[in-house]
Structure 1
Amino acid sequence: MNTRFTKILASLTLGLAILWGLTFLGTAVSHLGDDGAVCVKTGFWANATLEGGLPVGQGVEASSSTARLCQNNPSTAQRAADLGGQLPWTLFASVALLLFSRLLDAVVSEGPFTDKVARRLTVLGWFVTLGTPLAGLVVGWSQSWLAASMVPMLDSGPTVSDPQVLILAGLAAVIMGKIMREGVRMREDLEGTI
């Protein structure tokens, strides 16, 4: 096993986790202090023909029937919902990279087939499995609420974002963690027998 490469990869993923975390914080702070418009896209009227344009609220500009809605003077709740549409995936990526970095550190310090590595792989797998739909729901709900706040008659309901394939990767990591934990237990039993 090439521990030098694994150490470099662990350092790189830790650096990326920190970078994503700083991006998360910077975006949140700068966006909350911003006084510009917030925008959201909705395809609610994609197949509709509406006389007189879209039924938008006061201060909202709509660009087409596959609407890009922009609120010029957003409320605090609208600004928070806009952040809810942007930041969950950034936070998810930061935490996933941090967990992966910790997994690689355990591989470097103790070797790949240890209980610590198996536990960290399982934690990473569960985080990806449960965090993917949770982040997708937060994004979907935030965007739906923001669109509904700009168009009073709109209630499009929650949606989930696209990267749901990550759930399979997370479940694979959970299963591999369980297999590795069982392998570690069997190795310890074998060493105790000999």
Structure 2
Amino acid sequence: MNTRLTRTLASVTLLLAVLCGLAFIGKGVTHMADDGAVCVQTGFWANTAIAPDALPIEKGVEASGSGTRLCQDSPSVAQRAADLGGELPWLLFGAVALLLFSRLLDAVVDKGPFTEVVSRRLATLGWVVAIGAPVASLAVGWSRSWLVGSMAPVAGSGPEMAGSLELVLAGLAAVVMGKIMREGVRMREDLEGTI
């Protein structure tokens, strides 16, 4: 096993986790302090030929591109938070997943690849990815849907998923691999105990 490469990868992953965390905090603070317009994309009127000025939108909302882009010049705090909710969940998910992956690699370097600690951390990472991806996707979709509904009540819809969910399969695969590794570690310990 190449420990130098694994240690370097663990350090780079930890650095990326910290950067995602800082981006999460920085984006939240700067976005809430911003006083500019809030815009959102919608596909509600994408297949219609309605002029943007004839759309049933709230006062102060501008529509462009056949009503697929809505902008509120003086958004409420809730609208600004909903706009932020369209970006922050994935940054938080990325920071947590990268941090757990870095801890997994640290355990591989310190304890070896086939140990109880590594199998436990792999399963934990898998559960976080399998559950965190749909939760982040749902949070982003709900935020965008609510924001569209606040600008154009006719176009608002219920919660939707925003993003691909292939990460769920990767997370579940990591959970299964963690369980398999844990059983392998127990079998090796039992075998070493009998010899």
* Superposed pair shares fold, TM > 0.5: yes
Deviation at 1:97, TM superposition (A): 0.3
Match status 1:155 vs 2:161: no
Match status 1:101 vs 2:97: no
Separation in 1, partners of 2:32, 2:175: 37
Unaligned runs of 5+ in 2: none
Deviation at 1:158, TM superposition (A): 1.6
Separation in 2, partners of 1:47, 1:53: 15
Amino acid paired to 2:63:
A
Deviation at 1:148, TM superposition (A): 0.2
Question: 8 Å contact 1:144–1:155 — kept in the other structure?
Answer: yes
- Residue by residue over 1:20-52, the C-alpha shift from the partner in whole angstroms, topping out at 9 and shown as x without a partner, is 100010000000000001110000111223365
Which residue is 1:133 aligned to? 134
Amino acid paired to 1:3:
T
Which residue is 1:8 aligned to? 8
Question: 8 Å contact 1:100–1:124 — kept in the other structure?
Answer: yes
Q: Which moved more, 1:149-158 or 1:27-36?
A: 149-158
Q: SS in structure 2 opposite 1:152?
A: coil
Cα RMSD for the two superposed structures? 1.1
Deviation at 1:54, TM superposition (A): 1.4
TM-score w.r.t. structure 2 length?
A: 0.97
Deviation at 1:152, TM superposition (A): 2.2
Separation in 2, partners of 1:7, 1:39: 42
Which residue is 1:27 aligned to? 27
Separation in 2, partners of 1:116, 1:66: 53
Q: SS in structure 2 opposite 1:148?
A: helix
- Residue by residue over 1:69-126, the C-alpha shift from the partner in whole angstroms, topping out at 9 and shown as x without a partner, is 0100000000000010011111111110000000000001100000000000000000
Amino acid paired to 1:184:
V
Q: SS in structure 2 opposite 1:192?
A: helix
- Residue by residue over 1:160-189, the C-alpha shift from the partner in whole angstroms, topping out at 9 and shown as x without a partner, is 122200111001000000000000000100
Deviation at 1:66, TM superposition (A): 5.0
Question: 8 Å contact 1:44–1:156 — kept in the other structure?
Answer: no
Which residue is 1:85 aligned to? 86
Deviation at 1:53, TM superposition (A): 2.3
Deviation at 1:55, TM superposition (A): 1.1
Question: 8 Å contact 1:129–1:171 — kept in the other structure?
Answer: yes
Q: SS in structure 1 opposite 2:54?
A: coil
Separation in 2, partners of 1:152, 1:92: 30
Q: Which moved more, 1:168-177 or 1:63-72?
A: 63-72
Separation in 2, partners of 1:162, 1:85: 11
Segments of 4+ moved more than 6 angstroms: none
Amino acid paired to 1:21:
G
Separation in 2, partners of 1:132, 1:72: 32
Identity %, equivalent residues: 67
Separation in 1, partners of 2:13, 2:54: 49
Separation in 2, partners of 1:86, 1:16: 17
Which residue is 2:116 aligned to? 115
